């Protein structure tokens, strides 16, 4: 039985394969979390097909369950159940569907009078529950606040915020690190901040001469192969 361990949401034509010895009047049924397919847990737009092909020998066949497009709600246990010839057999494997960010932002504001650099990082459309961490010069920012909540169905939104005080003059690396634990997936948004002389502009104004921002750079690391 072949089922991919991890699949990215939105992947097309994902196929699960169950190979078996064919007997007279034998039949194969697919189950999702112990229930018949299609599952009421799936999005109504998810479509699939079940087909059968001949295996390497005349008595060997393969039952193929193919999804046109996978979504996170399709994560779960898939069972191939064989009946026929007086014999019964079944095998179950787990498939996990993760969703990387569909949007990822890093905002930096300079609060002039209070001498604070405010950092705000947000990512949308995530699954499973993400972790988000803010860093300055490759060190975690103290007293940062992380919030994670459901936004739509099984998808999460993650936000990290922090106020950094006493940032010295010069160039600093501000990083937002997004991590999806079960998928071992990491995405990084980075901006370079140059702190210089203050000029007057009221609190909460972005003082362009006192703090400047480079173009953001995104790094993505995915440690598992996507089938």
Q: Provide the residue ranges of all domains of the chain, joining segments of one domain with +.
A: 6-98, 103-222
Looking at CATH, the fold of the domain delimited by 103-222 is given as: Immunoglobulin-like (2.60.40)
Architecture per CATH, 6-98:
Sandwich (2.60)
How confident is the prediction along the chain (227 residues), in pLDDT tens digits per residue?
Answer: 899 999 999 999 999 999 887 776 778 889 999 988 876 667 655 688 888 888 777 778 889 999 999 999 899 999 999 887 677 888 999 999 999 999 999 998 876 666 788 999 999 999 999 999 999 999 999 999 999 998 767 899 999 999 998 888 788 889 999 999 989 899 998 888 877 644 322 222 222 223 333 444 444 444 443 33
Q: What does each C-alpha distance from 33 to 17, 28, 37, 67 come to in angstroms?
A: 17, 16, 9, 16
């Amino acid at each position: 039985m072949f089922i991919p361990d991890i699949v990215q949401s939105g992947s097309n034509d994902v196929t699960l394969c169950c190979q078996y010895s064919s007997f007279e009047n034998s039949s194969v049924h697919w189950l999702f979390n112990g229930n018949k397919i299609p599952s009421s847990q799936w999005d109504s737009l998810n479509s699939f097909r079940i087909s059968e092909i001949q295996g390497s020998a005349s008595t060997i066949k393969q039952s193929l369950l193919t999804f046109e497009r996978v979504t996170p709600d399709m994560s779960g246990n898939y069972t191939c159940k064989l009946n026929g010839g007086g014999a019964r057999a079944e095998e179950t494997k787990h498939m996990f569907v993760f969703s990387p960010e569909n949007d990822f932002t890093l905002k930096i504001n300079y609060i002039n009078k209070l001498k604070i650099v405010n950092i705000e990082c947000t990512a949308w459309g995530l699954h499973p529950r993400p972790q988000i961490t803010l860093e300055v010069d490759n060190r975690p920012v103290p007293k940062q606040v992380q919030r994670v909540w459901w936004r739509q169905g099984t998808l999460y939104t993650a936000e990290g915020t922090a106020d950094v005080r006493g940032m010295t003059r010069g160039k600093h690396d501000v990083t937002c690190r997004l991590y999806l634990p079960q998928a071992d997936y990491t995405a990084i948004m980075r901006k370079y901040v140059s702190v210089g002389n203050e000029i007057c502009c009221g609190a909460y104004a972005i003082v362009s001469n006192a703090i400047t921002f480079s173009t953001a750079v995104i790094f993505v690391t995915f440690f598992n192969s996507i089938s």
